[in-house]
Amino acid sequence: MRYLLMFYADEDAWTALPAAERDAAIGRIGKWFGEHAAAGTIVGGHKLAGGRRATTTVRLGRIQRSGDAPIVTDGPFVEAKEAVGSYAIVEVEDRARAVAVAKTWPAGGLVEVRPIDE
């Protein structure tokens, strides 16, 4: 089964870290991705640009909308304190293994584990 692991963090707290601490965390994250990729557990994933670099938000309104015009907002628009900083797609035998992998994330914050419908 494939699961999407979404890694959330407080962007302000991240950018407030001293450069040496941030660099060390980036090193731990790179090692974590490398080890899981080499083991065949991670089959995809990327770091995302920060929420402040979001270019556009498109709000479509209700589900099954009829006649609602999309609302397009330029520029960053993050309502939550924590934002998705990166993600990984893992291929594992079950949810328990996906959660076990998520528990080893070395950067703190929050990891959302979501099955991928295939």
What's the predicted TM-score (pTM) here? 0.84
- The domain ranges of the chain are 2-53+81-115
Two tokens, residue 43: 């089959």
Q: Is the pLDDT of residue 71 over 90?
A: no
Going through the chain in order, the beta strands assigned E by DSSP cover 2-10, 42-47, 56-59, 71-74, 82-91, 110-115
Place domain 2-53+81-115 in its CATH homologous superfamily: Dimeric alpha+beta barrel (3.30.70.1060)
Gap between the Cα atoms of 43 and 70, Å rounded: 34
Q: Flag whether pLDDT at 51 surpasses 80.
A: no
**pLDDT per residue as tens digits for the range 79-115:** 667 788 899 999 999 999 999 999 999 998 999 999 9
Task: Give the pLDDT score at 79.
Answer: 65
Higher pLDDT, 76 or 107: 107
